[in-house]
Copies of this chain bind each other. A is one copy, B any other.
Amino acid sequence: METKKIMTPEEIVNTMMSKDYFSQWLGITVLEIKSGYCRLKATVKKEMLNGFGIAHGGFTYSVADSALAFSSNSQGRKSVSIETSISHITSLKEHDEIIAEAMCETQTERLGHYKINLYLSNDPEKIVALFKGIVYKTSGNWD
C-alpha cells in the first residue's frame, strides 16, 4: 500500500514560488517558513512607485498577500484568500527594504485567520503596514 507523501512547509512554499511570477517580479525573498508562519523581504524599486514618488499601496499589499498565501498554504491545505484589509501607516521610498511577518491567529475547519505585520528591515520599530487576512481552506492537500 502506497502512502501519500505530505509536503513540508518549505517544499510547499518552494513549489508555489517557482510558479509565482508576480512574487518573483516583486523580488520577494523567503527568509523563514514554518507551518502557519513566514517571514519575507522585498525592496522598493523604481517600477513600484506611484504618482507621489513613494511606493504604490499595491506593492505593500502584494508582499503581505504573498506572506498570507505562504503561511496559510504551509499548513498543508490548499488555501485561497477571500477577504483582506490593510492599514497603510508609513510611506516607503525607492530602495527601502521591508519585512513581512505572517502568523496564523486561529483557524476553523474551513477558514483561517492571519495577521501580517510589515516593517522596515533596518528599523523594525517602524511599522509600514498592518494586514489582516482570511483564507478559505479547500479540501485539496499539498501532497
A residues with a Cβ closer than 8 A to B are 15-26, 46-53, 56-59, 61-63, 65-66, 69, 78, 80-89, 91, 105-106, 108, 110-111, 113, 115, 127, 130, 132, 134, 136
Contacts and interface: CB of A to CB of B under 8 A. Distances in A.
A20 B50 contact: yes
Given A22-B59, A57-B65, 7 more contacts: A16-B51, A21-B50, A22-B50, A57-B84, A58-B58, A106-B127, A113-B130
A80 B85 contact: no
Nearest to A73: B51
A105 to B, nearest CB: 6
16 contacts: A15-B51, A19-B51, A19-B52, A22-B48, A25-B47, A26-B58, A50-B69, A56-B65, A58-B61, A58-B63, A61-B61, A61-B84, A83-B86, A85-B86, A85-B132, A115-B115
